[in-house]
Amino acid sequence: MNSLIRPSPNRWQARWLALAILPVLAAPDLLVGQSAEPTHEPGKARVSAEITSPGELARRIDQILQDPALARAHIGLTVQVAETGEVLYTRDGEKRFTPASNVKLITGAVGLAVLGPEYRWATKLIADGPINDGALEGNLWIIGGGDPSLERDELRAWIKHLRMAGIRRIDGDVIGDDRVFSEPQWGRGWMWDDLFAGWSAGVSGLQLAPNTVNAAIVPGADLGDSTSMVLRAKGPSLPISNRVLTGAPGSDVRLQFVLPPDGGNVELRGWVPLGPDSVRLYLATPHPTHYLLDWMESLLSAEEIVVDGDFRRPRRGENLADDYWSHVALSSPFSRVLGDMMKPSDNQMAETILRTIGLEEGSAGSPEEGIQVVGSSLADWGIEPGAIELADGSGLSRYNEVTPNAIVRMLRAVWRHPDYKTFLHGLPVAGVDGTMRRRLVATPAFDNAHAKTGSMSGVRAVSGYLLDGSGETLVFSLLLNGYDAPGSVAVALEDLLIEQIALYRRPIEPGWPELRSVP
């Protein structure tokens, strides 16, 4: 049997495209549209004529946009000089497009402005009863603050603090209080047949990062045999009943999640082909809080801390009454979370930031409150109502609509913000890291363009900053909707457009503003 090591992104994507109920409709940018590994030496740009006027730039862009692969596409593109405000190119800049993960630019920018780079989320462990002879005579509360960067190692650190407090047994329950954020755990307009996929992992006030599981379906020994679902790393089992059978050799993968009408575990049904290959699954856990509590149960047991009660969420109306012992764990600063969200395009983190904005500036940790705060911030930056219409914070919803001009105006406002460098460093860098790491190598945009990508079926987006040949900062937003060419072709055309923008250069005229350095 082959190793369960994850195959290349393109092969992995092909696996998912075969699924009946889990198509790649809103996959993270890392999983779709990747170009091949570069064949040129990084940093050595191809020889290409510089562009010395906006007219020549427009001619080249227009020529690229006439490609037959874009014949059915809706295309919006705006390029502006940050220092002067001069618009070098625009096409349908005021029309609205589905932006996919370019929404994260908005969530990240407003989050940075509202929360600040040093903001941290707090998670509290509180014992509501006394500790006597190694026993906590009560419940252990884990009160979430929405930390989007909480990893398993932090849970292990919590257990060390419990032992330091002398706790060897908990007579009551372990209660995961996630009510800092309101339900539901998913965003408005998320596709129902994506909710079990890892990129659609839900959000909770108490959650692990990531709230996902890598698994595999292993075929049986003969046609019609049952299959096995195995986890690719140690951890709690998922409440999924595997009903998948072994199909004919060479047959397509057909998998479907079914919700039983009378309740119970979600069922995975269908078949996978007989043979040596397993089928990889990238899954969201059913609920973030329950998954964290499952990990706590496992880790406490491993450390021989006995829990007599249950691992559960609070009951209706149940609140912490007493505080006999407590420990507060702080998250990474927002400046780090920003990069952890934007570079790999992490949907869970983006949705958490949106709810946190609502919590800190509104009255509740809800996406609706967060979107209201975003709207106020955008208005302060001169973006008119309707130019950016959001339904979530990650871009998974197709209800999101933005104009290229509005994205460019927002990015230029961030460029003028004191924390611009923090925002810039959080973006993927062409040919270097994040979702841009394999793109634009051996072009003038290599290690130059800092841009956020976005991808869904029929949608590609890329917006950000780059330095042109004369040292000006150019702000750009390119949005493609409705194309029917392969995603790799759309990405190649995106890269060609960005390369032409990076080739722009003109003599600096007297009186031109002093250059703003970019590290």
Does the pLDDT value for residue 519 go beyond 70? no
Query: Tell me: the pLDDT tens digits for 30-85?
Result: 333 333 333 344 444 444 678 999 999 999 999 999 999 999 999 999 999 999 99
- pLDDT at 262 (0 to 100): 73
Tokens of 399: 């209800």
Does the pLDDT value for residue 364 go beyond 70? yes
- Quick one: CA dihedral 288, 290, 291, 296, positive or negative? positive
Cβ pair 75, 458 in contact under 8 A = no
- pLDDT at 49 (0 to 100): 79
Query: What burial class does residue 64 get, using C-beta atoms within 10 Å of its C-beta: 0-12 exposed, 13-18 middle, 19+ buried?
Result: middle
- pLDDT at 304 (0 to 100): 95
Query: Tell me: the pLDDT tens digits for 133-187?
Result: 999 999 999 999 999 999 999 999 999 999 999 999 999 999 999 999 998 899 9
- pLDDT at 508 (0 to 100): 62
Q: Is the peptide bond before 184 cis (omega within 30 degrees of 0)?
A: yes
What is the C-alpha separation between 381 and 320, in angstroms, rounded?
42
Q: Are strands 87-91 and 450-456 parallel, antiparallel or unpaired?
A: unpaired
- Which residues make Cβ contacts (< 8 Å) with residue 107, sequence separation at least 6? 341, 350, 353, 354, 357, 374, 393, 394
Across the range 276-290, mean pLDDT stands at: 92
Could you give the percent of the chain with pLDDT greater than 90? 78
Q: Are strands 266-273 and 240-247 parallel, antiparallel or unpaired?
A: parallel
Centre a 10 Å sphere on the Cβ of residue 409 and count the other Cβ atoms it contains.
Answer: 24
Pick from 201, 395, 426, 197: nearest CA to 292: 201
- pLDDT at 235 (0 to 100): 86
Q: Are strands 140-143 and 135-136 parallel, antiparallel or unpaired?
A: unpaired
Percentage helix, strand, coil, to 5, in the chain? Answer: 30, 25, 50
- pLDDT at 507 (0 to 100): 65
Domains 33-118+335-502 and 122-183+288-332 share a fold: no
Domain ranges of the chain: 33-118+335-502, 122-183+288-332
Q: Residue 239: pLDDT band by 50, 70, 90 thresholds?
A: confident
Query: Tell me: the pLDDT tens digits for 293-329?
Result: 999 999 999 999 999 999 999 999 999 999 999 999 9
- pLDDT at 510 (0 to 100): 54
Cβ pair 266, 259 in contact under 8 A = yes
Q: Which CATH architecture has domain 122-183+288-332?
A: 3-Layer(bba) Sandwich (3.50)
Pick from 333, 361, 359: nearest CA to 119: 333
Could you give the percent of the chain with pLDDT greater than 70? 88
- pLDDT at 451 (0 to 100): 98
- pLDDT at 26 (0 to 100): 35
- pLDDT at 122 (0 to 100): 98
Query: Tell me: the pLDDT tens digits for 373-393?
Result: 999 999 999 999 999 999 999
Q: 76-90: buried (b, 16+ CB within 10 Å) or exposed (e) per residue?
A: bbbbbbbbeeeebbb
- pLDDT at 48 (0 to 100): 61
Mean pLDDT of the residues in the chain: 88
Backbone angles phi, psi at 92, to 5 degrees: 50, 40
Residue 464: helix, strand or coil by DSSP? strand
Does the pLDDT value for residue 29 go beyond 60? no
Q: Which residue reads 């790491």 in tokens?
A: 437
Q: Which CATH architecture has domain 33-118+335-502?
A: 3-Layer(aba) Sandwich (3.40)
Global pTM? Answer: 0.87
Q: Residue 16: pLDDT band by 50, 70, 90 thresholds?
A: very low
Q: Which of 224-238, 261-275, 278-292, 456-470 is least confident?
A: 261-275
